[in-house]
Amino acid sequence: MKTTTSTIYMKRWLEANERTRTLPGDSWYLNFTNEMLPLIAASPLFANKTADKITKTVLDIALYFQDAIAQTGGWKAFTTRYGTLYGQPLPFYPCTSYIDDEINWDDVCFLLWKNLSDVHPSFYFQNPSEESLLPLARQLYDRMDSLFEEAPINEIPSPETWVMDLNLLEIPFAPLPEVTPDSRLTKDVERCLQYSQGNPLLYFATYEELRVFLVGTLEWEDHPDGILADLKAEKDFVVYANTKGMLLAPGVAACFRDSHNPAYDAQTATAEGYELFCLPGRCPFDLLKYGMQNNLLCDAALPFDRGREILQQNWDFIARYFLGEYYEGD
């Protein structure tokens, strides 16, 4: 079904810039926005997208062009912080011919990816190399390139956070709470490590296996309804014993390729492992981080061509972007 889009007016452009006062260059960028609108609306990538999504996308392209010309604003802030964190301008794209103070095709590709993807609860991860995404980015880039010399400089920068919440790129990557000979451990953690012979991860395929462990090894008091009765319908548990305490995660054990893990399932790990990086609450972050640092989530793959490579190479950014406050959260 074709989505109907209408002309974008100055009020909407000013809202995107979080301004109420017009600048001399605003009419030029508004005209550019409306020129690009039918190009984006006609793309099969946006065939099932709402008019608001299409409008938001074309406004982001115009904000990017404005920022690239002025070398200020939200795009500059995003690429600076991303580069500081990861040592390259962008995720997903090679950026082999990238020029900081110019427009770049990779930038346009990323902006299309950003607008076509959605965070929880309407989660969707757009393939950044989708067959129809790359030529659309090329068309948008070529038009900006042809207009580069005439595009005006707007003196007031665009909002710093229009690309994403930049606070997510400033959260420190904390060291794992690993056990050392000097660590002060809870009784539960001590018993976990004795049971596993020092392995911080313990795996239980069923609730009954977990219950037997909690009662028999950790000496938890049993209950008529069962210990942690709200987990009775769950399976594939991982217990992570560390200096913070004992962390329990249901529904994730099948994704951990560990010689100690009888619940590991390669098919599940490949098909569902990406959810641990993208769905808040699906996997505690310390456990996710431990899995990545110890190569236990090596099967996790996004559900498209090159999905494993893209996830494994960009997992930290993906987790920051999609998990939000759950990144390094308790």
Per-residue pLDDT tens over the stretch 109-141: 999 999 999 999 999 999 999 999 999 999 999
Is the pLDDT assigned to residue 153 strictly greater than 70? yes
Give buried/exposed letters for 54-75 (b at 16+ CB in 10 A, else e).
Answer: bbebbbbbbbbbbbbbbebbbb
pLDDT band at 329 (very low <50, low <70, confident <90, very high): confident
The set of residues, in sequence order, having a beta carbon less than 8 Å from that of 161 and lying 6+ positions away, is 74, 77
Strand partners, 246: 241
User: Is 244 in contact with 293 (CB distance < 8 Å)?
Assistant: no
What the block records as the tokens of 308 is 């494993």
Confidence (pLDDT) at 1:
47
What's this model's pTM, rounded to 2 decimal places? 0.95
Instruction: Please report the pLDDT score of residue 4 as a whole number.
Output: 62
Q: Is the per-residue pLDDT at 61 higher than 50? A: yes
| Mean pLDDT value of segment 168-183 | 93
Cα dihedral 283→285→290→295 (10° resolution): 60
pLDDT at residue 226 in the model = 84
Confidence of residue 225 (pLDDT cuts 50, 70, 90): confident
Whether the pLDDT of residue 51 is over 80: the answer is yes
Which pLDDT score is estimated for 8? 97
pLDDT at 3: 57
Going by pLDDT thresholds of 50, 70 and 90, the confidence category of residue 6 is confident
